[in-house]
Amino acid sequence: MTATVRDQKLVGQVLAWGFESLRDLPWRRTRDPWTVLVSETMLQQTQALRVADRLPRFLERFPTVAQCAAAPASAVVQEWSGLGYNRRPLNLHRAARIMVDQHQGHVPNGLVDLLALPGVGPYTARAVRAFAFEEPAAVVDTNIGRILARVDGRTLGAAQAQTRADVLAESETTAKRYWWWNQSLMELAALVCTKRTPACERCPLADLCRWRGQGPDPAVGSAAVSGKQSTFAGSDRQLRGRLVEALRVTTVPVVEVATVIGCSDPDRVARVIAGLERDGLLERRRGRLMLPTG
């Protein structure tokens, strides 16, 4: 599939907007692959401004793949405090050790090699290729999936969304500026084509968009577009987070876990412990729980 005249115009208008509108964010000042991988891992479930605040501190402690790999997993999880979704730092640590063993301590640039790393999915792999190596790649996250559906005026499945993104990224108008194209499209979605209150009146794609805020939103139900999240308060996710936060400070006796996480249901407490243990986020030793030491 090749880009149409409309596609070429769309790409040109997004790039022109992006050249003038990209925010100055830490991960946009570098092409260092490790910095890009860390930032993209943080950005998976955390707001950009929060990542902008915490990324420099994390990189000061773990400035290279090798230094992250050499540290105990507990140190990486501890440094992640406040960013949530604690599987992410654990996967990042595991990925660092694989990169030391298999890629001489470097972040690989091949899609297959990137996808083989723990915690690296299709979006993150393509983001690293585009943002660190400026290789051919079209990223599709919840923001880009939303724009693609709205501009085309139709709900897109996963394969359709990726195909549309690939066609646009490879159009003649991008002139192989993969970094600029993907960053500009993501920024447009974050600042203008937002989920709840899109600013259609100031969108550079207003003349091309087949939705323009009229009628049912085609982004609802499209692939890569996030739906309503389950309630966090009172959930097992919240209890898991409480226990990991406590373990960042000290070890916790198994018999005190219920008090630490604020749950009196013994079956639920056991489920929380078992889940974290299964995910590799804690270890048991002599009746006490601790962060992983490996």
Cα 176 to chain centroid, rounded: 23
| Non-local CB neighbours of 220 within 8 Å, separated by 6+ positions | 155
Q: Where are the beta strands (DSSP E) in the chain?
A: 252-253, 283-285, 288-290
Residue 280 DSSP SS3: coil
pLDDT in tens, 1-50: 788 999 999 999 999 999 999 999 999 999 999 999 999 999 988 888 89
For 109-193, where are the alpha helices, taking DSSP H only? 111-115, 122-131, 142-152, 158-169, 178-191
**Quick check: 260 and 249 in contact, CB under 8 A?**
no
Q: Choosing from 20, 40, 134, 245, which is the catalytic residue?
A: 40
Q: How far is CA 36 from CA 30, 92, 227, 274, in A?
A: 8, 12, 26, 33
Q: 32-131: which CATH number, 3.40.190.10, 3.60.15.10, 1.10.340.30, 2.30.42.10?
A: 1.10.340.30
Six-digit token string for 207:
């003349």
Average pLDDT for 193-216: 95
What's the pLDDT band for 224 if we cut at 50, 70, 90? Answer: low
Does the active-site annotation cover 283? no
What was the pLDDT predicted at 230? 59
The pair of structure tokens assigned to 40 is: 């993209």
- What are the structural domain ranges in the chain? 32-131, 236-290
Q: Could you tell me the pTM of the whole model?
A: 0.87
Residue-wise pLDDT tens digits, 128-179: 999 999 999 999 988 999 999 999 999 999 899 999 999 999 999 999 999 9
CATH 1.20.58 holds for 236-290: no
